[in-house]
Amino acid sequence: MNEIELIAQLTKSLPTNAWVITGAGDDCAVLDSGQPNRCLLLKTDAVVEGIHFLPETQAEQIGHKALARCLSDIAAMAGRPIAALVTIALPKKFDPDFVKKIYDGMSQLAERHGVAIVGGETTTNPERMLISISLLGDVAKDKCLLRSGAKASDAIFVTGELGGSLAAKHLEFEPRLSEARWLADHFSVHAMIDLSDGLASDLRHILHQSKTGAEIFSKSIPISRAAKLRARAESSAKPPLLAALSDGEDFELLFTVSSRDAVPLLDAWKKQFPKLKLSCIGKITAAPGLKLRDENGVRILQSHGYVHFA
């Protein structure tokens, strides 16, 4: 049983109550705040030494990444982050200065986005460091963006450039909080997700929850310089397009808007965020499935983000 199958099993019949608007299965849980026009958002995420960072990763970058991943999920709901709790599980022998620098990295990012760090705990994990962060946020009820709202003929957009995040970006990215709130405030965004598993995988989450399909255009997919450099440097590396489709940890925003909003959005975006690329990469289709169109025609994209060329 893989992780996705396990999660599907575990989340099938979880206890719920009157507070829950959206439980497991979106970027954040959405809860009634007791106020008429706002919802609470709740998210947790963990990074593990040897998996999400290496023993030689700089401490500040570990702290930054641990919090930034959670913030990216709040961004995916067009939310505002409020407060974080930090659990650090440490090997028996740890360097207090290293741990302090992890907190410095987290605190700097938190301060930039107005997030309070309100506690947490330290515990022991003898073999490796593990950091689990939980984050409370909120969002206006009518602005909260789920994965489930995409509609046939919607235009699909993605921010930034994709692929090759492991070279550096996964430790340094700035979560797209202000971009996401600007989108929700100025356009009718139908569905949004942050890219953590890779474009193809994360788009599939939108398609699955919106009960739609999509066709994306290979020429329009913004490929990062890191993915291109890597393909050139290593003959065994993924071709750049494949990296952009399947590499994880891009932490960009993937969203859909009505096709008639596509051009006004691109125009307004250029004025608002002149330094951040926004690409229209395809359209939502009523027919299920994820298809890739290139100069040779249309192919089906299969399974966890990887393209199986026939």
List residues near a second copy by CB under 8 A.
Answer: 1, 3, 6-7, 9-11, 13-17, 19-20, 23-25, 29, 31, 33-35, 38, 40, 42-46, 48, 50-51, 82-83, 85-87, 89, 96, 99-100, 103, 107, 110-111, 114-128, 130, 132, 134, 136, 138
Q: Which is nearer to a second copy, 121 or 185 (CB)?
A: 121
CA distances 147 to 60, 194, 214, Å, are 32, 10, 14
Q: Shortest approach of a second copy to residue 158 CB, angstroms? A: 23
Specify the residue, 20 or 268, whose C-beta has the smaller distance to a second copy. 20
Smallest separation (angstroms) from a second copy to the CB of 54:
14
Nearest approach, Cβ of residue 2 and a second copy (Å): 10
> How many of the other CB atoms lie within 10 Å of CB of 64?
23
10 in helix, strand or coil? helix
- Looking at the Cβ atoms of 83 and 237, the one nearer to a second copy is 83
Query: Cα separation of 95 and 103, whole Å?
Result: 13
Q: CA-to-CA distance for 96 and 226, rounded, in angstroms?
A: 34
Beta carbon nearer to a second copy, 24 or 287: 24
| Beta carbons of 180 and 253 less than 8 angstroms apart | yes
Cα–Cα distance for residue pair 77/184, rounded to 1 Å? 9
∠ Cα 108 157 112 (to 5°): 10
Q: Which is nearer to a second copy, 121 or 294 (CB)?
A: 121
Least distance CB 46 / a second copy (angstroms) = 5
Nearer to a second copy, 22 or 212 (CB): 22
Q: With respect to a second copy, which residue has the nearer C-beta, 26 or 252?
A: 26
Minimum distance of a second copy from residue 65's CB (angstroms): 14
Tell me how far, at minimum, the Cβ of 231 lies from a second copy, in Å. 28
Q: Which amino acid is at 287?
A: A
Shortest reach from residue 266's CB to a second copy, in Å: 34
Q: Is the dihedral of CA 115, 117, 123, 128 positive or negative?
A: positive
Pair 175, 64: CB distance under 8 Å = no
Strand-by-strand arrangement of the 155-159 sheet: 189-194, 253-257, 155-159, 278-285, 213-217, 289-294, 297-300
